[in-house]
Structure 1
Amino acid sequence: MPNDRLRSRMLTKGLTPGALAERLGVDPKTVERWITQDRNPYPRYRHTIAELLDESESYLWPDALPAQRAAQVSQSEVVHIYPRRGAVPTDLWQQLLEKATRQIGVLVYGGLFLPEFNHRWVPTLREKALAGAQVELLFGDPDGKHIAERGNDEGIGAAMSSKILNALAFYEELRDLDTVGIYYHDTILYNSIYRFDDEMLVNTHLYGTPAAYAPVLHLRRIGGAELFDNYVASFKQVLGKKRAVWPEH
């Protein structure tokens, strides 16, 4: 039985079996068997292929690991749990950003604390984008209904929209970069997500509680696990509903 998921993602990304084989250093016939006979690649290849195709391993090869083993592996993706965002070491945000080279993603309502308290945050984002990293920043739509609801839930009302606009003012210097996407979303966020290649900080949301006082998960992607990739999938769902902050760009 062919692996149609793998075949489809390769077509979407414009990768032929020969090209993928060259990237991995394997025989093209091996790649053909992965596709036509649904053979499972070795773990080191699965991880690389998933990265190249921008897809999760669990989606491309759902039977590669038994469910119980996949759950155990996923637990290893949790580097640390912080009881509240304020307990995250202040230099960790910058350290993760500086290590990232490929993908940087931020999904928040406002996230004002990052550029406000770290003067290196936005300049480093610019440096990363100029070096070729893909940067995607998603902010709550100041005029959206879910932003108004979140402001009411936290007891700050319209101040939520003001915080978003204040945050965006810091990102003006990224406006001219083709590798940076800055968008609005109008979705209910159950978590704020900060992705740095294969590491991520997930700030959970609690009803009626500002995000600064909610727990944070530090995750590191492990091949064959599901936790990190589930949050990536959530990020992509919101990204699919975006609208540009600056349409002219």
Structure 2
Amino acid sequence: MNTALRKALAASRLTETDVAARLGVDPKTVRRWLSGQRPYPRHRWAVADLLQVDEEDLWPQGAPEPEEDPPLFEHAYRVFAHRWEVPREAWCALFAEAKQEIGILVYSGLFLADDAGMLELLAARARDGVSVRILLGDPDSPEVRQRGEDEEIGDALAARARNALALFRPLLGVEGVEVRTHSTILYNSVYLTERRLLVNQHIYGLPAAKSPVVEIDRTLSPDMAETYARSFTLAWEGAQPVAS
């Protein structure tokens, strides 16, 4: 049992569920840490920051490190055949680990916007000083309309973009969150932090949820990561701010 971790939780008046929500992991994972399992380094750093204690006070040096899964390929850490196969925990982990920035470039991103826990996670990261930038497709733009026709869903994509905009809008009341609408032709949806990216390919005639997702580690593949990050920057610079 990790007595130090249990005492730190009690001192912070946080429950296992609270920690799990803030870090984007399953509460069972937190319970395993409390039982004595040593987390991955990224999770140890996040817990120490959350509880405002030194990492070594919770997990003294000398214990063996848990083995990380090796990268699948040289430039891709993981590949998912479809976006719907990406577990919610992976999205939560991506955003929870951010220390500097979170960027979301989509047409609607409704699967995130319609998740109250995900919205709270984004708001919490912004309150912790992380810059959160969200780029949504302009529902009145010809690009969104054309994408809807390509997917053979007509005006449904524009409706999803409007719905997502309404659901993301309350985040504008949180300092550090910016939302803009764009009218670019998206070849990929991009979800990024200063550490990693999840890139959802766009395939003609298919919705993004059925298209592949590639996870890229910025340290392992800096050039590839920068290619996608630059597309986010270009779209952001040409987008229109959304008023709160």
Structure-2 residue corresponding to 1:96: 94
Alignment of 1:181-200 (within 5 A): 181-200=178-197
> Which of 118, 128, 131 is the matching residue for 1:131?
128
The one-letter amino acid paired with 2:201 is: T
Report the alpha carbon displacement of residue 239 of structure 1 after superposing the two structures with TM: 0.8
Report the alpha carbon displacement of residue 223 of structure 1 after superposing the two structures with TM: 6.3
> Which of 138, 147, 152 is the matching residue for 2:149?
152
Report the alpha carbon displacement of residue 174 of structure 1 after superposing the two structures with TM: 1.0
Task: Tell me the distance in 2 between the aligned counterparts of 1:183 and 1:202.
Answer: 19
Structure-2 residue corresponding to 1:164: 161
Report the alpha carbon displacement of residue 165 of structure 1 after superposing the two structures with TM: 1.2
Structure-2 residue corresponding to 1:237: 234
Give 5+ residue unaligned stretches, structure 1: 1-74
Report the alpha carbon displacement of residue 237 of structure 1 after superposing the two structures with TM: 0.8
Structure-2 residue corresponding to 1:44: none
Question: Does 1 or 2 have the higher relative contact order (CA < 8 Å, sep 6+)?
Answer: 1
Report the alpha carbon displacement of residue 76 of structure 1 after superposing the two structures with TM: 2.8
Structure-1 residue corresponding to 2:137: 140
Report the alpha carbon displacement of residue 100 of structure 1 after superposing the two structures with TM: 1.1
Superposition RMSD in Å: 1.7
Structure-1 residue corresponding to 2:81: 83
SS in structure 2 at match of 1:183: strand
Structure-2 residue corresponding to 1:114: 112
Contact 1:77 1:221 in 2 (8 A): no
Runs (4 or more) in structure 1 with deviation over 2 Å come to: none
Task: Tell me the distance in 2 between the aligned counterparts of 1:198 and 1:174.
Answer: 23
Q: Please, what TM-score do these two structures have when normalized by structure 1?
A: 0.66
The one-letter amino acid paired with 2:116 is: H
Task: Tell me the distance in 1 between the aligned counterparts of 2:163 and 2:220.
Answer: 38
Q: Please, what TM-score do these two structures have when normalized by structure 2?
A: 0.67
SS in structure 1 at match of 2:238: coil
My pick for the range that moved more, 210-219 or 82-91, is: 82-91
The one-letter amino acid paired with 2:120 is: P
Tell me the percent identity.
35
The one-letter amino acid paired with 2:81 is: P
Task: Tell me the distance in 2 between the aligned counterparts of 1:224 and 1:85.
Answer: 21
The one-letter amino acid paired with 2:186 is: L
